[in-house]
Structure 1
Amino acid sequence: MKETLHDSTASPSEPPVFQPIPLRKQRDYRLLWSARTSSITGSEVSRLAIPLTAITLLSASPAQMGVLTAAAFVPTLLLGLHAGAIADRLRRHRPLMIGCELVSALAALSVPAAWLAGTLSVTWLIVVALVIGTAATLFKAANFPHLAAVVHADQRTEALAGFHASYSVASVAGPGLAGALVQFLTAPIAVLVEGVSFLVSAFLLRSIRTPEHNEPAPSRGLTRDVAEGLRATITDPTLRALLGSGTTINFFAMAYTAVHMLFMVKVLDIPEGLLGLLTAVSGAGGLLGAWVTTRLVRRFGENRILLGSVLFFPLSIVTVALLDGPLWWKLTMLLSTGLITGGIVVAFATSLGAVILRDAPVEVRGRVNSTINFATQGVMALGGLLGGLLAELIGLRPVIWICAAGIALSSVWIWASPLRTSHRP
């Protein structure tokens, strides 16, 4: 990574002070950011195109759709911990990342090819989802420590905020692009965009020039390596707090996700056509959050951002639970809280990633990140299942209140941790 020398005011006896070049002027960071944005946007397109292919062209049954949906999460549950151990064994992470993108591209491109050949089936789509999910799990495990090689330590929070901004852009633009492609090109051909996006990502990653000098710790076997990552995460008070808080948030957030659309349509009488607008506003809030977070972190530090942002997580859920009145008032409140919550989520996620990079020992950094991802992503399926079952037993509104209370518990993890008392920013 390039740095610029800034020593115009330094005395001859003082060591020179190095100032990192702004990220927007760093070629390799721009390439890395563009690669992720391309890949994520393509994935957002396929999130609509693949299920529509299964439903409209292959007459998939509800059971088959359930398996197809679950297939995207299975690799994280099966390989999430091991992926981190694999990443920590590597001296260079970029070749694995490029390989994952190429494998994903081939899998995605096989969908329109099989459709044109008349051999496409639901089983084929499930296998494709498993392959892409596996590649994505390995990619994420390698990408996290790779960021440390490309970006200066003082700029990692800003870099992570940039990645979350690309997620927000994709969440806003992806569904609209997918709808247009499905309408004009048919669903299987729309998946072609995902395949091309993976190829573009691989090409951009291949163009990065920053050398990697990772020195992996000696491996004691995959199982012991995984156990060491778990131990490093659980025994460190700060990392344990991040693990507990993230897991709590995602569990209750998915329980809420399982019922909130039904609640909005059936109870709040929100027109179905406006639900997409509410989702887009949340994505726009994420963009705003990415911009604001980098500025707030410079002033207050990651610790204080985590302490403050976690308090606002229940805001949108409590608003939904209390909401009543005319449609214009409901929409005003939902749009406002959605914008705020979108920004809060990005601020929290960005600061969480920066603290992991800062506090996790370098030799287990990939395993710590994968351990936290494994837990926070793995509970999502359980949370969604619980939300649906509870709604059948006690009703929609009580479940929403339970989710608000559950997410509020995440603040206990953060405020009871060294993040509150540490003198570090």
Structure 2
Amino acid sequence: MIPVFQQVPLKKQRDYRLLLSARAVSETGAEVSRLAIPLTAAILLGASPVQMGILTAVTSLPYLLIGLQAGAIADRLGRHRPVMIACEVISAAAMATIPAAWIAGLLTVPWLIAMAFVVGTCSVIFRAVNFPHLVTVVHESQRTEALAGFQSAYALASVGGPGLAGLLVQLVTAPFAILADAVSFLVSAFLIRRIAAPENHTPAPPRGMWIEVREGLHAVVRHPTLRALCGCGITINFFGSVYMALFVLYALDVIGLPAGLVGGITAFFGVGGLVGAAVTPRLVRRFGENRMLAYSVLLFPIDFVVAALASGPVWGKFLLMSASALISGMAVVFFAVCMGAVTLRETPAELMGRVNATLTFTIQGVLTFGGLTGGLLGSLLGLRPVLWIGAVGVLLTIPWIWLSPLRHFSPREAR
């Protein structure tokens, strides 16, 4: 007999709506801080380039420091929701200290760095426990649609968040704009607290932190499908980070786009994400996750190639790069949603947290190295040649998927 909740459309399920709303609010708040914190550091506190670099790097540093351990902890927990709520409340408190310290005349760049590290740490733990928690809220048959919903929320935040951030900075100045992020964390905690689905996760018995961490690593390395997803994710994030490290400089200085048009291209990437999130569930029902993964990686090099070839009048460059950004935004969401669904499908329940943490640790952690590599290569070779290197490098995502078990489509996918 099919469970009752499986028959209810996902958008009508109260618990899923609460979880989706929590992520949408929190991500929008994070977009505000992503602009307001650097502005506070650079304009109001006179941060040096080194301090700005540290401030940027410290947000992803927790992935490298505790990402794997967070996954082991997630698998040990019988209930994930209280930890998620605690992470949001602590993050809210950390963000609220920034305007408070500014009023008191105590705000410094090290303070901003410390608070960014606290929020980054909470984000790592939240993501580690949220992945297995999703299994409690959403039935297996609806997880692809649920993951697409989250990607839609992230894309909406990336499109609308920067505009909201700019408006708030203009109206109340950067330190007080950060209050919006603090409020968003509290709203997220409140919405998660209202989720009623019972948590039935069976905690893994503790056998020592590093033993459990190694089990998560081995699960990814030894499983051909998970290994392929991990390798592909590392590849696209590394070369994508190389690209993003140079994109603004390249667009402004090499091909002469005005700053406003550069922002417009970025917005088209977010719009592509929205479109991708909207159509992915329908495409997956028709073609399946494996086929979607196989075809999405074919689209990854487009942005690199179009940018490297960009020439001619400003409007022509803008239109071509906007179109490629739109396609790339769709492709990234296709891949991210299907990767999440396949990971849920292929991972044993008792290893869910550790496998997710291993993938997050490797795929997110490589962003730091990609950015550093892009900056170094750009200074040595020039900006346009590095884009061609990125285009060639991102082609390596194709064999990761097409030479893995993911190349074998199910009967539904082979139609």
Shorter-chain TM range is over 0.9
Match of 2:200 among 199, 213, 225: 213
Which residue is equivalent to 1:345? Answer: 332
Which residue is equivalent to 2:237? Answer: 250
Which residue is equivalent to 1:292? Answer: 279
Contact 1:321 1:401 in 2 (8 A): yes
Q: Percent identity?
A: 59
Distance 1:19 1:193, change over 3 A: closer
Q: Which amino acid aligns with 1:164?
A: Q
Instruction: Give 4+ residue runs of structure 1 displaced > 4 Å after superposition.
Output: none
Deviation at 1:19, TM superposition (A): 4.3
Within 5 A, what are the aligned runs for 1:384-399?
Answer: 384-399=371-386
Q: Which runs of 5+ in 1 are unaligned?
A: 5-17
Q: Which amino acid aligns with 2:49?
A: P
Superposition TM-score, scaled by structure 1 size: 0.95
- Looking at structure 2, the residues matched to 387 and 55 of structure 1 have their Cα atoms a distance apart, in angstroms, of 23
- Looking at structure 2, the residues matched to 19 and 33 of structure 1 have their Cα atoms a distance apart, in angstroms, of 18
What do residues 266-296 of structure 1 show as CA deviations (whole Å, max 9, x unaligned)?
2211111211111111101100000111100
Within 5 A, what are the aligned runs for 1:154-169?
Answer: 154-169=141-156
Q: Which amino acid aligns with 1:49?
A: A
RMSD: 1.2
Q: Which amino acid aligns with 1:171?
A: S
Q: In the alignment, does 2:252 pair up with 1:265? A: yes
284-293 or 59-68, which deviates more = 59-68
Q: Which amino acid aligns with 1:361?
A: P
- Looking at structure 2, the residues matched to 56 and 296 of structure 1 have their Cα atoms a distance apart, in angstroms, of 46
Contact 2:6 2:141 in 1 (8 A): no
Number of aligned residue pairs = 411
Q: In the alignment, does 2:106 pair up with 1:119? A: yes
Contact 1:20 1:152 in 2 (8 A): no
Contact 1:226 1:367 in 2 (8 A): yes
Contact 2:19 2:195 in 1 (8 A): yes
Structure with the greater alpha carbon radius of gyration:
1
Deviation at 1:153, TM superposition (A): 0.3
What do residues 331-370 of structure 1 show as CA deviations (whole Å, max 9, x unaligned)?
1111111111111110100000000001011100111111
- Looking at structure 2, the residues matched to 385 and 339 of structure 1 have their Cα atoms a distance apart, in angstroms, of 26
- Looking at structure 1, the residues matched to 252 and 156 of structure 2 have their Cα atoms a distance apart, in angstroms, of 26
Q: Which runs of 5+ in 2 are unaligned?
A: none
Contact 1:35 1:205 in 2 (8 A): yes
Match of 2:353 among 366, 381, 389: 366
Match of 2:343 among 356, 363, 384: 356
Which residue is equivalent to 2:388? Answer: 401
Deviation at 1:317, TM superposition (A): 0.9
Match of 1:418 among 385, 388, 405: 405
Contact 1:68 1:125 in 2 (8 A): yes
- Looking at structure 2, the residues matched to 53 and 233 of structure 1 have their Cα atoms a distance apart, in angstroms, of 41
Superposition TM-score, scaled by structure 2 size: 0.97
Which residue is equivalent to 1:94? Answer: 81
Q: Which amino acid aligns with 1:69?
A: T
Q: In the alignment, does 2:115 pair up with 1:128? A: yes
Which residue is equivalent to 1:333? Answer: 320
Q: Which amino acid aligns with 1:372?
A: L
SS at match of 1:226: helix
- Looking at structure 1, the residues matched to 286 and 249 of structure 2 have their Cα atoms a distance apart, in angstroms, of 41
